[in-house]
Copies of this chain bind each other. A is one copy, B any other.
Amino acid sequence: MTDERPEPTVQDVSDWWATSVSRIEPNRIELRGQPVQDLIGSISFPGIIWLMVRGEIATAGQERLLEAALVASVDHGPHAPSIAVARMAATCGIGLNNAVATGVNLLGDVHGGAGEQCMALLADVRQLHQDGTDLATAAAATVQTWQAQSKYLPGFGHRFHTVDPRRDPLLGQVEHAVTDGVVDGTYLRAAHAIERVLAEGSSRPVPINIDGCTAVVYAELGFPPPLARGLFVLSRSVGILAHAWEETGQGRRNKGPMPPSILPTFHDGS
């Protein structure tokens, strides 16, 4: 099998693991080409997030907008599955890192993916508009197309909040960034246009939710859609950690979803 192939070399192995994210040599660490000693104490945490995933240094305005989105989605309480499972994990005798990983593992297409999908939705509206359709028509057509495929329009509506309290401050940050010339506002306008389409002729408003708001931010900042989920992971990890840590301090063992008092009732009824 090997007679026609070149002999493998150590260089093949190095190439197999080559990366442009970081360069580690004895006594030298570069992150995206920046010596680490030039970053510590100088760059902000959102700034290094941007640097690591984008490969370049963000402007102050970009950092500020990214930071607002990272802050906004840290937590939505212990009835969110990602938080609940991390709390349960923390009572099972595994490490705090394993508890956080358990929560992050749940941020999938349904739990963490709406932002990613909403970026695609906004991009569809924006593209139609850039191709010459007026914005309202572009939004209506896009909504119709998406709703024909699924009853869930990603980034809009909430089973719990009628107006998400994170909407106004986060979209307000985007408006500031438009004013300051940091972003151009095309995705923000697409989102507003969709909200108007959904408000027309509806008895119950379907406002943009947190996934939609962060999708606007990440789209305006030029992140590719899959990174909407990636950045949500970094943000929600904060809440997951805080909840797992609180649970650790309460001393329960093998916490299940229901309190022990309810178990006899549960089992009689199942």
Residues of A within 8 A of B (CB): 1-2, 5-29, 31, 35-37, 39-41, 43-46, 48-49, 52-53, 64, 67-68, 70-72, 74-82, 84-85, 88-89, 91-98, 100-102, 104-113, 159-166, 168-170, 172-173, 226-227, 229-230, 233-234, 237-239, 241-246, 248, 253-270
Of the candidates A2, A68, A97, the one having the most CB atoms from chain B within 10 angstroms of its own CB is A97
Task: Report Cα–Cα, A260/B88, bound state, in Å.
Answer: 19
Count of identical protomers in the assembly:
4
Task: Report Cα–Cα, A264/B259, bound state, in Å.
Answer: 18
* Partner pick for A104 among B35, B70, B100, CB 8 A cutoff: B100
* Partner pick for A25 among B172, B237, B267, CB 8 A cutoff: B267
Q: A97-B112, A106-B88 are in contact. Are A22 and B81 (CB under 8 A)?
A: no
B27 in contact with A162 (CB, 8 Å) = yes
B29 in contact with A166 (CB, 8 Å) = yes
Given A11-B269, A97-B104, 9 extra CB contacts under 8 A: A8-B262, A12-B262, A13-B258, A17-B258, A19-B246, A22-B75, A25-B268, A26-B160, A95-B112
B230 in contact with A36 (CB, 8 Å) = no
B269 in contact with A14 (CB, 8 Å) = yes
How many whole Å from A10's CB to the nearest CB in chain B? 5
7 contacts between A and B (CB under 8 A): A6-B261, A19-B243, A24-B79, A36-B166, A79-B257, A92-B108, A257-B258
